[in-house]
């Protein structure tokens, strides 16, 4: 979510030069720890808040509003020198990434793939991307083999895959879009043939199971401050939506932004996602609850 918030903060500060917006990177899990003790006003999240994190926030006296702000498609990528893996099935990805997996060569993934080593790159365990990927692919949040090159910073993963012909990695679609000249996208086959992530397939859900919503969590006490309220309203405005697209993410339907803004103005606290990712559920339907 960092690239969106960074872009929104930059534009907001141009219009409001007296307001300083500080945006930091810590991974979703690490960020929620700070949010729960009141260190931050707003928390970016690439997955919904967990029940345990919501409980920690409540214990710290933090009430929050959950606001979806964009769609992302977790992108599976290889090095451009990889000429064989134009697509992978969800079952093949699971076989590669699940706990206890011993796959270390492309020939073990599919008959006909060459006898070449695989080096894996993926999100660190503090990242919401890690939580979402493991739940969507391996069937359980946090279920992953540990022997891969991990980072909470997607730019580090981009550099790794771009420089390693044996690489297979995953990260947010915006980071692929920014670096498409040095990466190769892999189609995901969930039973209906390979699908590549793009605005249409992420928005309509056909890029399953790796299309996901991204969130802001706003502390209610902080939202009473005019500058915080104005920042959230700007984030959900037409300008904010335009910035979502400019940095490589997929805007939500207009109705979803309107419902999210209404929810914010009405101060509806708590999570609509009940501590889980609710893969495949429409955002607008959740926001109407």
Query: Domains, the chain, ranges and CATH?
Result: 2-71+212-287 (3.40.190.10), 75-196 (3.40.190.10)
Share of the chain above pLDDT 70, in %: 97
Confidence of residue 248 (pLDDT cuts 50, 70, 90): confident
CB atoms within 10 A of CB 106: 21
Asked if pLDDT for residue 286 goes beyond 80, the answer is: no
Q: Quick check: 12 and 248 in contact, CB under 8 A?
A: no
Asked if pLDDT for residue 284 goes beyond 80, the answer is: no
Hey, which bits of 190-263 come out as E strands?
Answer: 194-195, 211-219
The Cα–Cα gap between 124 and 104 comes to: 19
Please give the pLDDT value at position 287. 81
Q: What does R_g of the chain's alpha carbons equal in angstroms?
A: 19
Please give the pLDDT value at position 149. 97
Per-residue pLDDT, averaged over 90-103, amounts to: 98
Per-residue pLDDT, averaged over 88-101, amounts to: 98
Asked if pLDDT for residue 281 goes beyond 70, the answer is: no
The Cα–Cα gap between 214 and 212 comes to: 7
Please give the pLDDT value at position 285. 73
Sheet holding 187-189: strands in order across?
87-89, 187-189, 194-195
pTM given for the model: 0.81
Task: List pLDDT tens digits, range 20-66.
Answer: 999 988 788 899 999 999 999 999 998 899 999 999 999 999 999 99
What is the pLDDT of the chain when averaged over all its residues? 93
How many CA atoms lie less than 13 Å away from 223 in the CB half-sphere? 23
Please give the pLDDT value at position 152. 87
The Cα–Cα gap between 114 and 105 comes to: 8
Task: List pLDDT tens digits, range 133-171.
Answer: 999 999 999 999 999 999 988 899 999 999 999 999 999
Task: List pLDDT tens digits, range 253-263.
Answer: 899 999 999 99
Please give the pLDDT value at position 203. 84
SS (H, E, C) 104-167: CEHHHCCCCCCCCECEEEEECCCCHHHHHHHHHHHCCCCCCCCCCEEECCHHHHHHHHHCCCCE
Q: Quick check: 44 and 249 in contact, CB under 8 A?
A: no
Asked if pLDDT for residue 279 goes beyond 70, the answer is: no
Confidence of residue 14 (pLDDT cuts 50, 70, 90): very high
Q: Which long-range contacts (CB under 8 A, 24 or more apart) does 200-209 make?
A: 201/73, 202/71, 202/72, 202/73, 202/173, 202/250, 203/71, 203/250, 203/253, 205/280, 207/73, 208/279, 208/280, 209/90, 209/136, 209/137, 209/279, 209/280
């Amino acid at each position: 979510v960092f690239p969106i918030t960074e872009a929104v903060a930059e534009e907001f500060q141009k219009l409001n030069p007296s307001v300083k917006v500080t945006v930091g990177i810590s991974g979703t899990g690490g960020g929620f720890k700070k949010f729960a003790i009141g260190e931050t006003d707003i928390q970016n999240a690439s997955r919904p808040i967990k029940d345990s994190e919501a409980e920690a926030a409540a214990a710290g006296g933090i009430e929050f509003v959950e606001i979806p702000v964009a769609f992302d498609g977790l992108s599976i990528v290889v090095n451009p020198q990889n000429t064989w893996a134009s697509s992978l099935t969800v079952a093949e990805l699971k076989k590669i990434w699940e706990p206890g997996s011993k796959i270390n060569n492309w020939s073990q993934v599919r008959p006909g793939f060459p006898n070449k080593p695989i080096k894996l790159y993926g999100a660190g365990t503090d990242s919401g991307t890690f939580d979402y990927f493991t739940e969507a692919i391996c069937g359980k949040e946090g279920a992953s083999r540990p022997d891969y090159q991990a980072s909470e910073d997607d730019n580090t993963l981009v550099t790794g895959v771009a420089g390693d012909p044996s690489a297979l990695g995953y990260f947010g679609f915006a980071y692929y879009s920014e670096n498409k000249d040095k990466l190769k996208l892999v189609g995901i086959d969930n039973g209906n043939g390979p699908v590549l992530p793009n605005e249409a397939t992420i928005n309509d859900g056909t890029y399953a199971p790796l299309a996901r919503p991204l969130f802001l969590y706003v502390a209610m006490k902080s939202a009473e401050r005019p500058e915080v309220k104005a920042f959230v309203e700007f984030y959900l405005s037409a300008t904010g939506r335009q910035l979502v697209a400019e940095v490589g993410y997929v805007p939500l339907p207009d109705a979803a932004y309107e419902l999210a803004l209404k929810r914010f103005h009405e101060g509806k606290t708590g999570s609509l996602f009940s501590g889980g990712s609710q893969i495949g559920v429409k955002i607008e339907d959740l926001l109407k609850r």
